Amino acid sequence: MIADRDYFLIELAAGKKANDSFADGQDLYLEIGSGKGEFISRYPISHLTWNFIGMEMNEKRIRVCLKKLSVESNPNVRLLRARADAGIAEYFRPESLSGVFIQHPDPWPKRRHHRRRLFQEDFLTALAGIMKPAAQVQISTDHADYAAWIVNEFSKSPHFLCLQDDPIQGHANLDEHVVTWFEQEQRRLGYPPNFMLYKRI
Ligand SMILES: C[S@@+](CC[C@H](N)C(=O)[O-])C[C@H]1O[C@@H](n2cnc3c(N)ncnc32)[C@H](O)[C@@H]1O
């Protein structure tokens, strides 16, 4: 069943922020790069007292996410079709996010494409600005080089603290870790995820 696009998809009117999609004042969590929607359709079901926004830049992926959502099971979910980058603060109110999830961000493996990677100094500064103090960012990537890059970017940021003894761990920080389509595929090919966890100072 195709879910109600109008219900789930955020259309930002002038002066509005994505936060305004929910009127109930519940804590708001963000997933960046929702892909085929496994996390954004499943994790919020066991956290109905929190709200979730899945931010995904690809229209086809948004449509796949919509097929997995239903108003009955996912009243606390919305989707934002937008690209996350250093401009992310235009979509959210300052210090308004209680947590951020990013599973398998595009690794852009070629050196000449590294500047396209999501994790850059200006993105981390903007992300910190929309997160509540002590809110956490949970990240996973199967790409070892990108994992090291991400750790290095966070280590340079004055806004975040690593919450793991080993910044890159082989097991998920979440009790209810949702294995996404991409994680499953990469595991099958012999590339298990690396998990990282940071706190907004
Ligand atoms: C490798 S897939 C991973 C999808 C999903 N998280 C998973 O684990 O299966 C990366 C996804 O992030 C989306 N994406 C990449 N860069 C993005 C950005 N800057 N902002 C929003 N979405 C992005 C892509 O369109 C794609 O759906």
Query: Taking all residues of the chain, what is their mean pLDDT, rounded to a whole number?
Result: 96
- Answer yes or no: is 18 within a domain: no
Catalytic entry in 4, 85, 106, 145: 106
User: Residue 1: pLDDT above 70?
Assistant: no
Q: State the SS3 of the chain.
A: CCCCHHHHECCCCCCCCHHHHCCCCCEEEEEECCCCCHHHHHHHHHCCCEEEEEEECCHHHHHHHHHHCCCCCCCCEEEEECCCCCCHHHCCCCCCEEEEEEECCCCCCCHHHHHHCCCCHHHHHHHHHHEEEEEEEEEEECCHHHHHHHHHHHHHCCCEEECCCCCCECCCCCCCCCCCHHHHHHHHCCCCCEEEEEEEC
The verdict on residue 3 lying in a domain is no
Task: Report pLDDT digits (tens) over 88-107.
Answer: 999 999 999 999 999 999 99
7-40 residue pLDDT tens: 999 999 999 999 999 999 999 999 999 999 999 9
Domain range for residue 45?
25-200
**Domain count of the fold of the chain:** 1
% of the chain at pLDDT higher than 70:
99
**Does residue 35 form part of some domain?**
yes
Ligand 1 site, residue 182, Cβ cutoff 6 A: yes
pTM: predicted TM-score of the whole model, two decimal places: 0.97
Residue 15 lies in a domain: no
For residue 8, is it within any domain? no
Q: How far is the CA of 35 from the centre of ligand 1 (A)?
A: 5
Domain assignment of residue 10, yes or no: no
Residue 48, domain CATH: 3.40.50.150
106 flagged as catalytic: yes
Distance 192 CA to ligand 1 centre (A): 17
In a domain, 6, yes or no: no
